[in-house]
Amino acid sequence: MKPILLLRSLFLGTLLVHASDAFGGLSAPDTVLYGALVINGQALTTNDPPTFVEARLTPGGPALARYQLGADSALGNNYLLAIPLEEMRPASGTNVATVGNILFIVVRDANGDRAQTTLTLTERGLVQRLDFNSGSSNGVPGDPFDDWQIAHYGRTGINTNAIAANGQSIWANYIAGTDPNDPNSRFALSVSLLGDRPTISFLGLGAHGLGYEGVSRYYAIEFTTNLESGWFGLSPFTNILGTDQVVTITGTSSHPTAIYRARVWLTTP
């Protein structure tokens, strides 16, 4: 299975550009890639034999940038590549990347190259998540929940009803996009009063990373004034696409004692 390029990206702030004294080229802000590694259905960790991620201009060429898994303890089992760019290709020293190049991002170990994908350099100073997922442990490539379990637990077969470290079920964590291993990572509403009007806010997470390929996350706000009468959608906030944004909603004063809740679900386009 070809590794999957995931969606999260953002731009670095303005960086100073300076002339390179090696070849007379003009330096551009680095491109930064980071992510997790799942090879043949197994999440690679710092406990595995030395594993490297490299950026190359050709599949078998020298590395423009290289990272050994575990070299930076702050990254845990993730990798990070800072790929130097030039504004224009110098007269000599052809192993230099410029905007428009296609890079080969390769995972290798002592046995050679194990996985590879490509990335076209379209921007200067781009920070982008690029996870490798070259297979699924249950033999069904691309099983989303299978991939999510591997990313968080390093294996599959997790009981979906088991309670994670944050007090939520495994399945609830998958749907909400929260980290089951972080006690402070949980989906919750914040409700306060602005005069006689309730203000509801929450973080609407986008569906990205291992286990969320090809799906989107949506939210709906509901309210009730009597739990026995059921829940009602708070129009028009019943189909909110999560894009990593803070959602803030001001309700009406007609139900000052209302109870609010949110529903969250995943769907394919």
pLDDT at 142: 47
CA-to-CA separations, 201 to 131, 189, 265, in angstroms, rounded: 30, 6, 17
For residue 23, give both structure tokens.
Answer: 């070849």
Q: How far apart are CA 222 and CA 236, in angstroms?
A: 10
Residue 13 has pLDDT above 80, yes or no: no
For residue 158, give both structure tokens.
Answer: 């997790």
For residue 194, give both structure tokens.
Answer: 């602005």
Tell me the pLDDT band of 185, cut-offs 50, 70 and 90: very high
Residue 86 has pLDDT above 60, yes or no: yes
Q: When comparing pLDDT for 195 and 138, which is higher?
A: 195
Q: Helix, strand, coil: what percent of the chain each, to 5?
A: 10, 40, 50
pLDDT at 143: 67
For residue 198, give both structure tokens.
Answer: 């309730």
For residue 260, give both structure tokens.
Answer: 């609010």
pLDDT at 10: 32
Residue 217 has pLDDT above 90, yes or no: yes
pLDDT tens string 94-126: 677 888 888 888 899 888 888 888 888 888 888
Burial class (CB in 10 A: 0-12, 13-18, 19+), 90: middle
DSSP SS3 for 49: coil
